[in-house]
Amino acid sequence: MGIRTALLATALGCALAASDAGAQELNVAIFGGSFADNVRTCVAEPFQRATNTRVNFVLGNSVQNAARLRATRGRPDVDVAYMDLQVVVQAKAEGLLDQIDATKITNLPDIYPSAVDPDRQWIGFMYSATAIAYNPRELRNPPQAWADLWSPALRGKLAIGDISATSGQHFLIAAARLNGGSVENVEPGFRAIRELRPGVVTLYTQADQVVQLIERGDIAAAVWFADRVGAAARNGVPVAVVFPREGAIGILPTFAVPQGARNKALAEQYMDRALAPDAQRCFAERQYAGPTNRKVELPDDLAKLVPYREAVDRLYFPPPELVARNLPAWTDRWNREIAR
């Protein structure tokens, strides 16, 4: 009898707790680490207070989030999914995304047109870039251009990303463009990186590895993300960023509403909140993210660290469909020629 009563009470308690959490709940598939913490502070918590909604984060990287949408096609368990540009275009091509209602996103007119899908299936909420990170204590004359990474002074002091990391793909594109190639012809890029490879300390797969490599003094420079440099420098890591002369490679993380999402209207409200100037500014300060809302004003010291205004125009954004289509072939070749 005791057990049965206890079970009943537990069940009842659970039911009560569930209903107590409010009828509204929003599930968001989002990148992990400090990114999720900062989105919680800048977007989710204010949204929660304003709408009495509980926002649940489900952590995963871009591809894992796309895989989640594919596996639950039409009956997704999330209402908003964060994905990088070259992944979100694939999710769109697979018919996994719903169209966002423009009238529901009041901040949409202020978002740079390049950050919004023409079919309105995704919106970019921040700019970042693959650039050059260096340790100012070790390098008096930091590299100023992609081409400088081939200088003998950096032999045995440089880390680059593996092809599985966005920075690896971007460095391949940068190396190709530097040597007369393009996204469609990466042959010169492979040749150049093969030549660079013996002097490369490591091919990192997780962005955070670079922090340890710099702190241990294993490397003096790396091809890395501008926003990560800002966050690491604030934590006392001796690192600074250079946006290379030939153009850093632009990164546009986006969010989208999956086809068949249970709370589409609420998801759109959440997105609108994330695109509002105050949230964008908060995210720029904490995540070193370049705002995609043109109304955001940043102080000068911060503006130097993030892609902001004219700096965004100097970024090169590789056509995401081309990257998505070519990535398997690049990976295959990279595994054989570079990562061996």
Q: Which CB, 88 or 289, lies closer to another protein?
A: 88
The single-letter DSSP state of residue 44 is I
Single residue of 126, 203, 267, 305 touching another protein by CB under 8 A = 203
Sign of the alpha-carbon dihedral angle for 319, 324, 328, 329: negative
Residues written for the chain: 340
With a CB cutoff of 8 Å and minimum separation 6, the contacts of 305 are 226, 229, 230, 241, 288
Q: Which CB, 26 or 69, lies closer to another protein?
A: 69
67 binds another protein (CB under 8 A): yes
Q: Which CB, 235 or 335, lies closer to another protein?
A: 335
Single residue of 89, 105, 196, 242 touching another protein by CB under 8 A = 89
Residues in region 139-198 near another protein by CB under 8 A: 162-164
3-state secondary structure of 41: helix
93 binds another protein (CB under 8 A): yes
* Residues 340, 194: Cα–Cα separation, whole Å: 11
CB of 329 to another protein, least distance (A): 8
**Backbone phi and psi for residue 160, each to the nearest 5 degrees, phi listed first:** -125, 165
With a CB cutoff of 8 Å and minimum separation 6, the contacts of 235 are none
- End-to-end Cα distance, the chain: 65
Single residue of 41, 64, 72, 179 touching another protein by CB under 8 A = 64
Number of residues lying near another protein (CB under 8 A): 29
With a CB cutoff of 8 Å and minimum separation 6, the contacts of 146 are 132, 174, 175, 178, 244, 245, 246
* Residues 92, 95: Cα–Cα separation, whole Å: 5
41 binds another protein (CB under 8 A): no
90 binds another protein (CB under 8 A): yes
CA-CA-CA-CA dihedral for 93, 125, 320, 233, to nearest 10: -140
Q: Which CB, 86 or 292, lies closer to another protein?
A: 86
Contact (CB, 8 A) for 127 and 251: yes
CB of 74 to another protein, least distance (A): 14
**Backbone phi and psi for residue 136, each to the nearest 5 degrees, phi listed first:** -65, -20
The pattern of x and - marking residues 286 through 325 that bind another protein according to CB under 8 A reads -----------------------------------x--xx
* Residues 280, 108: Cα–Cα separation, whole Å: 13
CB of 219 to another protein, least distance (A): 12
Binding piece for another protein, criterion CB under 8 A, among 46-54, 62-70, 230-238, 299-307: 62-70
Q: Which CB, 68 or 281, lies closer to another protein?
A: 68
CB of 104 to another protein, least distance (A): 28
Q: Which CB, 46 or 199, lies closer to another protein?
A: 199
Token representation of residue 147:
């081409």
Residues that bind another protein (CB under 8 A): 63-64, 66-67, 70, 89-90, 93-94, 162-164, 202-203, 205, 216, 218, 321, 324-329, 331, 335-336, 339-340
